[in-house]
Amino acid sequence: MSETTGRDLPGEHGQPEQAAGDAAQQADGPVAPHRVIGTPSPAEARVMLPERDQPPARELPADPDDPVVAKKAERVVAVCFVLSMLAGLGFIAAYVIFQVHTISGTRNSNLALGTTMGLAFLFLGIGATIWVRRIMPQVEMTEERKPLASLTEDRAEFAETFREGADASQFAKRPLLRRTLIAATVPVAVAPIILLRDLSPLPGTSLDHTVWRKGMRLIVYGTNRPITAAEFSSPGGMITVAPEGFQDDFDAMAKAAVIIIKFRPGQLFFGPHVRPGGPTREGTVVPNWTVDNIVAYSKICTHVGCPAALYEQTTHHILCPCHQSTFDATRGAEVIFGPATRALPQLPITTDAQGNLVAQGDFNQPVGPSFWERS
């Protein structure tokens, strides 16, 4: 190998006394002393670089390839560094000048800070690159990579130390100590698993229910007005509704959001369900929980819970924008395309004495994506 890598190669070892620069080993003589556990290994006393008889030849010439080009480039680099310095000063100035207490102020501040900091780093980088390319001499050098494995003697040393330590501890000879030690560590190791139970209160049955209750009025989300079947009378109509009193409760709305859709008479399908053109699913029944051809579905997709409300009044498809799950609104919102596996839950609705649309109760099944405990 080359002289720069010296003696530190596995395969060239096996005779530790050959290590020329190892002062500690020379002082102790060629025979390694019996080591006491806990004292430093003599191997640590080795020097990292080999001794050299004479300084090596210079690898990088001190002068540029072309002094004229270098002189020009020097000015360019200096200009870049000055510009970088000015941009850096501009960053400080922008931080002081642009205040952030309004939206437009924050926008201007971000723009000014980002621009000045970007220019500062950009000119610094351009300057450094021109410096390297035009002023420093262009030399290609190859440096061999050192082996990644530890030295053979270090590994042997470690194995010996470990064996000696194991013997000295009498871990193998004294089973009582060994077993009680293991028993002592088990509870501490198990404790973090027990602590997990306090990360959060368990959800219990909260995922199974929403805030919808019997008699709760459907209010148009946004205007917060209750709506009657007579008002929501145009076939092809669709609107997002909320349970009255919970329209501003985002935690509740995350599960309770509902869309209602108005159909023409005869468009909605109820009863025992045979999927047209597809496999028959035994026992599937589309319930009639509608009022005057108005049907209410959960707005929360059963795949991963995106708001699925892209309703097409021509095809009666409800499309979820996240993963293109498509539901047939005329047939109990059964899945006709996409990754969702369950129909959108239907909210049973009826009317109260004033004709307002109200819920008959909660959804008959949990809304949204599946979860472990879902029955």
Partner 1 sequence: MSWITARRRHPAAGYAVLLLGLLLVGAAYAVITGSGGTAAASSPTPANAAQIAEGRNIFEAECATCHGMFAQGQAGIAPSLIGVGAAAVDFQVSTGRMPAAENGAENVRKYPRLDTRQTHAVAAYMQSLGGGPAIPSAAEVSTSGANVGLGQQLFTADCAQCHNFVGAGGSLTYGKFAPPLTQSTPTQIYEAMLTGPEAMPVFNNTTILPSEKRDIIAYVTATRAEPNPGGVSLGRVGPVTEGLVAFLGLLLFMVLAALWITAKHGKRQVGPHGESES
Q: Which residues bind partner 1 (CB under 8 A)?
A: 56-61, 65-66, 107, 125, 129, 132-133, 137-142, 220-223, 227, 230-240, 261-262, 307, 309-315, 317, 319, 321, 324, 326, 337
Which of 80/319 has CB closer to partner 1?
319
Instruction: Compare residues 43 and 296 and give the one whose CB is closer to partner 1.
Output: 296
| 98 in Cβ contact with 112 (< 8 Å) | yes
**19 vs 343 by CB, closer to partner 1:** 343
Burial 149-180, CB ≥16 within 10 A → b, else e: eebebbeebeeeeeeeeeeeeeeeeeeeeeee
Q: At what angle do helices 67-97 and 103-130 cross, to 10 degrees?
A: 170
**Active site residue: 34, 273, 303, 316, which one?**
303
CB of 87 to partner 1, least distance (A): 17
Closest CB to partner 1 among 51 and 140?
140
Specify whether 303 is catalytic: yes
Q: With respect to partner 1, which residue has the nearer C-beta, 208 or 231?
A: 231
| Residue 154 tokens, joined | 């270090």
**Using the 8-state DSSP alphabet, how is residue 356 labeled?**
B
Say how far apart CA 374 and CA 367 lie, in whole Å: 10
Question: How many C-beta neighbours within 10 Å does residue 1 have?
Answer: 10
CB of 310 to partner 1, least distance (A): 5
Distance of alpha carbon 260 from alpha carbon 333, whole angstroms: 12
C-alpha–C-alpha distance, residues 368 and 347, integer Å: 13
Q: CB of 193: closest distance to partner 1 in angstroms?
A: 39
State the Cα–Cα distance between residues 247 and 245, nearest whole angstrom. Answer: 6
Q: How far is the CB of 224 from partner 1 (least distance, A)?
A: 10
Minimum distance between the CB of residue 167 and partner 1, rounded to whole angstroms? 50
Residues contacting residue 51 through CB under 8 Å, at least 6 positions apart? 20, 21
Cβ neighbours of residue 245 closer than 8 Å, sequence gap 6 or more: 216
The first and second tokens of residue 183, run together, are 């028993």
Terminal Cα distance for the chain, rounded: 71
* CB of 30 or CB of 56, closer to partner 1: 56
Q: Are 116 and 87 in contact (CB under 8 A)?
A: yes
**Which one, 169 or 233, has the nearer CB to partner 1?**
233
Query: Minimum Å distance from CB 40 to partner 1?
Result: 37
**Which positions ≥6 away from 202 have C-beta within 8 Å?**
none
User: Is 316 part of the annotated catalytic residue set?
Assistant: no
In whole angstroms, the minimum distance from the beta carbon of 65 to partner 1 comes to 6
Catalytic positions: 303, 323
